[in-house]
Chain A
């Protein structure tokens, strides 16, 4: 079993939709959670990071962590074609190395 599981998609939604991207994990020690966006042929770009359970909002993006269920989510409101990319979750614990999900490919159709 992988430490971090992420549905590869692709996920196709119409412009303006609310997008929900998810990761599950098996190690209850994970304490630091990140979301990255990666455009085709580019490096991963840090979108959001959080230490704690609950929600963190930044513009159209909301990161949610549920440690009891070992589940994290990234919500994108009012999705735009420019949001079309692969989204990677990552997590770590005790200042150890990162564990990445395999990424979900999102396509927002105009």
Chain B
């Protein structure tokens, strides 16, 4: 039982490059989330999807876009990466918004 799977695990980008972080869950959850975690800042919500077909902004959405591809998959896109987006990104899912969430193992992104 894989739970929440994120790809890639590590990535180095140059400023201005674009990339998409992939997330898939196999728990039949309705809600999915993207967080970033920075030292001293805790977990900050970027975007979330309460259910298939819906997406909403979180605390720090600027510079990011998301796509809820289907019930299982939720991707995060950086259109033009900036050094300030250097962070660890976590995807999570839950049966519905606000109930116990399960996290992936994270993507370590460095923008140089």
Residues of A within 8 A of B (CB): 32, 34, 36, 41-46, 49, 88, 90, 92-98, 100-103
Contact = CB atoms under 8 A, between A and B. Distances in A.
A42 B106 contact: yes
Contacts of B48: 97
A93 B98 contact: yes
A42 B42 CA distance: 14
Interface of B: 4, 33, 40-43, 45, 48, 58, 90, 96-106
A84 to B, nearest CB: 18
A43 B90 contact: yes
Given A44-B90, A101-B42, A95 B100 contact: no
A42 B105 contact: yes
B103 to A, nearest CB: 4
A88 B1 CA distance: 24
Contacts of B4: 43
A92 B98 contact: yes
Among B4, B45, B58, B101, the one with the most A-chain Cβ atoms within 10 Å of its Cβ is B101
A88 B98 contact: no
Contact of B97 (A42, A97, A100, A101): A97
A92 B4 CA distance: 21
A49 to B, nearest CB: 4
A80 to B, nearest CB: 22
12 contacts: A36-B103, A42-B106, A46-B100, A46-B103, A88-B43, A93-B98, A95-B96, A96-B98, A97-B33, A98-B98, A102-B40, A103-B42
Given A42-B106, A43-B90, A103-B42, A94 B98 contact: yes
| 10 tightest A-B CB contacts, nearest first | A92-B98, A43-B103, A102-B42, A49-B100, A95-B98, A100-B43, A43-B105, A44-B103, A95-B97, A43-B106
Contact of B98 (A32, A45, A102): A32
Contacts of A36: 103
Given A43-B103, A43-B104, A43-B106, A97 B98 contact: yes
